[in-house]
Homo-oligomer: A and B are copies of this chain.
Amino acid sequence: MKLPESAEWALHSVTALAQVPSEAVSARRLAEHFGLPAPYLSKQLALLVRAGVLSASTGPRGGFRLARSASSLTLLDVVEAIGGSADPYTCHEIRQQGRGAAPPEECIEPCLLAQKMREAYLAWRESLRAVVISELVGSLSDEVVARTRASLTRTAG
């Protein structure tokens, strides 16, 4: 089980944008801030826009900013936007295949294994949903926030 590395980029980008609510930040500037390849980061940010986490604006002084308040965004929103939201376990109903196939009337409700795996997945989701971006940013020291703003703000390029 593996989450794409871009999930880390998306999470850091969102928390960084939450520290700069005044102006939009371009993908290129974010990439320079984190030392990441700009074009691929753009693709991930586009996914966040499509999911309603970020809003994009084109042209000069354009870029990305939070589409909603940081207090209404959770880690789950970001992970879902990247595509890591699918249940890692998918039941292929192999109990209905092969020599030991179960008759369909026994398979009305999902098999126990799928149920238990899904419960674990839901526990993971709820744990992520409990973390709000604003709380995360609020626990950062002023020094860290100041450095982030200095690196991302257009005037201090």
Which A positions have Cβ atoms within 8 angstroms of B?
1-3, 5, 7-9, 11-12, 15-16, 31-36, 75, 84, 86, 88-92, 94-95, 97-102, 106, 112-113, 116-117, 119-121, 123-128, 131, 136, 139-140, 144, 147-148, 151-152
Contact = CB atoms under 8 A, between A and B. Distances in A.
| Copies per assembly | 2
Contact of A102 (B11, B97, B144): B144
Instruction: State the main secondary structure of chain A at its contact with B.
Output: helix
**Across chains A and B, which 4 residue pairs bring their CB atoms closest together, nearest first?**
A35-B98, A35-B97, A120-B127, A100-B151
26 contacts: A1-B2, A2-B2, A3-B88, A3-B89, A7-B89, A8-B113, A11-B113, A11-B117, A12-B113, A32-B98, A34-B94, A34-B95, A34-B97, A34-B100, A35-B97, A35-B101, A75-B113, A75-B116, A100-B151, A102-B147, A112-B136, A112-B139, A112-B140, A120-B124, A120-B125, A120-B127
A90 B126 CA distance: 20
A99 B151 contact: yes
